[in-house]
Structures are given as structure tokens and as C-alpha cells.
Amino acid sequence: MNERLGIVVSGSLTKGVEVKLDSSASIEDMVVGRFVTIEGQKRRFFGMINDVSLGVIDQKLTVTPPDTADPFIAEVLAGTSTFGTLHVSPSLVIGGDAIAILEGPQPVKTVPSHFSVVKLATQQDVELVFGTEDEKRFFIGNPLDMEVKLCLDLEEFVKRSNGIFGKSGTGKTFLTRILLIGMLQKSQAVNLVFDMHNEYGWAGTREGGPPVKALKQLFQSRVAVFTLDEENSRHRGVSTDGVVRIGHDEIEPEDIVSLRQTLNLTEPAVEAVYQVHRKFGKNWLQNTLDLKDSEEGRELLKELNIHESTFQNLRRGLATIRRLPFTEPNPPTNAVKAILEHLDRGTNVVLEFGRYRDITAYILVANMLSRRIYTQYQSRMEKATATAKDNLKPRPLVITIEEAHKFLNPEVASQTIFGTIAREMRKYNVTLLVIDQRPSGIDSEVMSQLGTKITCLMDNDRDIDSVLAGVSGRSELKSVLAKLAAKQQALIFGHAVPMPVAFQPREYGSAESYRDFIPGDKAETEKDIEELWE
């Protein structure tokens, strides 16, 4: 049965309603982020507590508080002269209204009447709003202070680009693993994960504990691990499906543009890239680096209208790329082709960077591979559309990138493939999952295109404002976000959920949690779990 909390005494549609707590309800049990229902005269409302405050009937009590040493006096005053107040933002109509009954929860367009009864939401209320786990919905955690499964519709989730934000150490990586597992189970999309810190392929780290199993160990036949650093993978005992090598002739001017800030290239140096590319063709990088400081070289620079200092700035940047151990003149395999073959078969791909965690390596590889894979997707989608054959369409693809502000900051977002993907909103069946601790560094236009955002605790006002920009009820959500725990709590809002909700992610890292993640026959699952722990 619902626990009664109090009654509505004032409020508005834009600012939410004020609830006076009953004397039987303890103010200290009221938690920001908790769900409540409001029983109006004609409608039933579902909302979230955004603030908790104390009130007095006579303001003199705040100036000359009574002696409450006597428990009886304190109890009398608490029931007659003082009271608690909740600020609640109703988000949905879940009953009473004919449309809400027939079509499910509807957006709020009015407010409950005076003295409407407010109660704690039950498990049935939460399930009515967020649904129960099924072939499309995936259990991601529990609403704060509720033992109820919060489910996310992952088919809707992958239809747009999404973001996971939070300062370092708040649990972004654990959240990402859970979502990747969910997409693997519940959606038709395949994932391409650029794994900068080797957390999503075979095993991941955990503060103060042993390593946790990652995607490959849980779904062996459905996940392929590629690596840039074969030696490091062997050392960690990771069985890989392919080694990625980047040919010097595969690097194009667009790849250098995304590295402008990292390589400290000037604007003229970036322009010079296109000029030498037109002059030398596919072998432009090698030929540029081999250009001698001679009369002939100076004549060529003059012909191309490139200043000597600009050329030296460009050469220093290109030399940095050539020194990367995974780049070579003639690689034995085509990395893009190998990865595409796995994605076409429905196999999720995790690309580990091993020891090469320098941001230059990460931006170069992620941008280069993504651009070529995206080109293939674009061609296939256009062909499928032209011939009206849906079976020619490639599987929906979600590309996961970390340190997203390096790819999507205002200076380069319009020039990188990731900015293009975010703006096009799955036009060619490709979306992004961006992970970042500095969302304020991401271009505001890109942030506005992210369909669903999951944010852990952040203490930088610019980052908070960036994540909440353009969101209805921004000030209330800011209050909820500020009250999240330092670890393992998050706020989710946007396209894939009917209303914002603060939650605690489901447990991850125990044998029981692995058992819950792996689908299929229970007996077979038990056997798999035993093998994983041997």
C-alpha cells in the first residue's frame, strides 16, 4: 500500500508544487530524487522530489526557538507549530485521464488541485512509467531509495547518439559496460568500441578489488577484440581476433585536421596538408617527410605557396604520427575491411589501444577508422534507399568514444566524422555513445543532438550547465544532480526515458551479476560461469 506523505498546498505548472508533510511523515526520510504520486480529483500524477525544506507557522519560533529538552514539548511543537515541505515536479499523468489509461503515461499539462494527497510511488507505479524487463527493455539499476528495477528501452536508446558524463571516479566506465551489455542483448545494433584504457574487451579494472569480466568473457562468440598493441595483449592474457596496423598512405588530410590541437599545428599548416596531398597523392605523408632542405625543396614550397616556418610546423606534426609504432608504410592487412566483416556478421568489436594511450594515437585511429566505416555505411544506405531494398541496409552501428571533447570541441566538431554523425541523427544507421568528464568542452550543437544523457556527479558549474542546457526543469534537475553520491549514482534523462530519473546502477562484478547478464539456458549458463572463474 502507498505510504501517505502529505497534501498539495500550492504550486504551478512551470515551477512544480509544494507539499506540506503530514506530522506522521519524517522529514529525514524524504530524499531528493525519490518518486511520488499525487492523487488529484480527476487525474493521477507521477513526479519526483526535487527539494526538501522546513517551515514554521509562527516566524517567532525561528528567532526565539523554544526549549526542546523535554521530548514531549518537542513532539507537540513538531505536530502543531513546525512542518516539513517537499517541492515536487509532476512529470506525467498516469491515471484518471482517459488518454493516460488507454495510451499510457502522458506529459503533464496541468497541476493537481489544492489538498491532493501525495504518496510514495510503488513498484507498480514505476513499472507503469518505465516498463518491465522484456525483449526490448533492459534493467540498468534501481531508482534511488527504491528496490524497483529501472528499465531502459534500448531499441529507442540506439536510435540517437547518447552521452555518459561525470567527473573522474564516479563510475562512468561501469555504466558504459552495463549499457554495452544491454545493447548487445536487447537491440539490433552492433557496437564499435574505441577502448582507450583496455576496459571493455577481455577484462576491466575495479577500484580496490580484483578485475571484472568485460564483454569478450561474457559473450565470447558475439564480441571480437582487435588490438593496436599485440605484445601488450599477450602480456595481459587477452586472445585477440585481429591486429590493427595503419598504413602511411591510408592517412588523409581530414585525419590531420582532427589532430590540429594535439599536434600543435597552425592554421596555415593545416591548409598546407591539402596542398601537399594534391601534389603527392596517396604517398603525400612519406613524400612530405622525405622532402630535403635543398634548393629543389625550397622551389617546391614556393610553388605550393607554403612558408618555410609553416612547413617545419607541419613536418614536426607528421613526424609524430610516423613515430607511432602501429603505423607503417605497407601494413599486411586492411583493418577497416576486417572490422567491417565482423560488424556485418553482427559481431561487436572492441579495439584496445594497449600501451598506446596517448591522445594523438587515440584521435588518429578512432577518427580514421570511423570515417572509413561511415563512408561504407553511407554508400550501403544510399544504395538500399535507391533500390527500396531494406535487406541491403547495414546493421545499426553504435560507435563508442572516450575523451569525446577532444573530437567534438567547437574548433573541430564541424570537421570530424563524429560531429557529422551526431548531427545527422542516424541518417545512415550510425550513432555515437560519447563518454566524457568535461562536457563543457563539447560543442553546444553536438550536445543538443544527444538524445539521452546519463550523468554522474559533477562539481564544475560549466559542465553541469552544458549537460542540462535546453532541458525542461533544468533548475530542479541541477538540484538532484548536486545531491548524487560521489560513486555509483547517476541521473538519466532524454529521448529513451519518459522522464528524468536518478538511479543506482545494477551490481556488476560478482558471479551472480555475470549470471544475470548471460542469457540462455540456466544449466548452460552455470557451466559458463564456472569456466569463467577457473
Higher per-residue pLDDT: 189 or 78: 189
CA distance 163 to 435: 6
CA distance 265 to 245: 24
Q: Note the pLDDT of residue 140.
A: 92
Tell me the CATH number of domain 156-245+332-527, given options 3.40.50.300, 3.40.50.1000, 3.40.50.720, 1.10.3210.10.
3.40.50.300
Each residue's pLDDT tens digit, 238-271: 888 888 898 888 888 888 888 888 888 889 888 9
Each residue's pLDDT tens digit, 376-400: 888 888 888 888 777 778 888 999 9
Q: Note the pLDDT of residue 34.
A: 86
End-to-end CA distance of the chain: 46
Helix 359-387 with 417-424: angle, nearest 10 deg: 40
Helix 295-304 with 308-322: angle, nearest 10 deg: 100
Please return the burial class of 533, using the count of CB atoms within 10 Å of its CB with bins 0-12, 13-18 and 19+: exposed
Each residue's pLDDT tens digit, 170-188: 889 999 999 999 998 887 7
Q: Note the pLDDT of residue 532.
A: 47
Each residue's pLDDT tens digit, 117-138: 999 988 888 888 888 888 888 9
- Does pLDDT of 427 surpass 90? no
Average pLDDT of 198-227?
86
Confidence of residue 42 (pLDDT cuts 50, 70, 90): confident
Residues 6+ apart with CB under 8 A from 376: 336, 340, 394
CA distance 309 to 451: 44
CA neighbours closer than 13 Å in the CB half-sphere of residue 321? 32
- Does pLDDT of 489 surpass 50? yes
Q: Note the pLDDT of residue 522.
A: 45
Cβ contact 202:238 at 8 Å: yes
What global pTM score does this model have?
Answer: 0.85
- CB burial readout 228-257, b (16+ within 10 A) else e: bbbebbeebebebbbbbbbbbebbbbbbbb
Give the pairing of strands 190-195 and 203-204. unpaired
Q: Note the pLDDT of residue 86.
A: 92
Residues 6+ apart with CB under 8 A from 165: 172, 435, 436, 437, 439, 453, 454, 455, 456, 458, 463, 467
Q: Note the pLDDT of residue 533.
A: 45
Each residue's pLDDT tens digit, 314-372: 889 989 988 888 888 888 888 888 998 999 888 999 999 888 888 888 988 998 899 88
Confidence of residue 407 (pLDDT cuts 50, 70, 90): confident
Please return the burial class of 204, using the count of CB atoms within 10 Å of its CB with bins 0-12, 13-18 and 19+: buried
Where do the structural domains in the chain lie, given as residue ranges? Answer: 4-130, 156-245+332-527, 249-322
- Does pLDDT of 422 surpass 60? yes
